[in-house]
Amino acid sequence: MSKLNGQIFMATSGDADAPASGRAAAPAKPARPSRGAGKRRLRLTQIKSTIGQSPRHRGTMRALGLTKIGKSVEQDGASPVIQGMLRKVAHLVKVEDA
């Protein structure tokens, strides 16, 4: 904070003549591994219709990306969310390693 002609002047971080705040710069973040590195992929195929199933099961199938009998999608098998979804609709899908 500086005084210029009786007015208070607050230095911002963009000012070149502002004093250093005394804090060191944050260290650079480490590089993140690529999205597909070391993940187990599963191929899911719908083998049975969702007609007559509970609305929750139908919603789970849509969330997995399965909408028609015979349609296949690949999902990350290591995710606990996907694991739980597959437990709920195991009678409607075939699961294979991709």
Strand partners, 74: 43
Q: What per-residue confidence (pLDDT) applies to 72?
A: 97
Is residue 98's pLDDT more than 60? yes
Residues 6+ apart with CB under 8 A from 88: 56, 57, 60
Structural domain includes residue 33: no
Q: Please tell me which residue, 77 or 57, carries the higher pLDDT value.
A: 57
Domain for residue 78, yes or no? yes
Within-domain flag for 28? no
For residue 64, give the CATH number of its domain: 3.30.1390.20
* Residue 62 resides in a domain: yes
Report, as an integer, the average pLDDT of 27-37: 64
pLDDT score at 18 = 54
State the Cα–Cα distance between residues 53 and 3, nearest whole angstrom.
Answer: 74
Run of H or E including 46: strand 41-46
Residues near 91 by beta carbon (within 8 Å), at least 6 away in sequence: 48
Q: End-to-end alpha-carbon separation of the chain, Å?
A: 62
Instruction: Report the candidate in 67, 83, 47 with the shortest Cα–Cα distance to residue 75.
Output: 83
The total number of structural domains in the chain stands at: 1
pLDDT at residue 33 in the model: 59
Tokens of 75: 């999902």
pLDDT at 21: 62
20 domain residue, yes or no:
no
pLDDT for res 17: 57
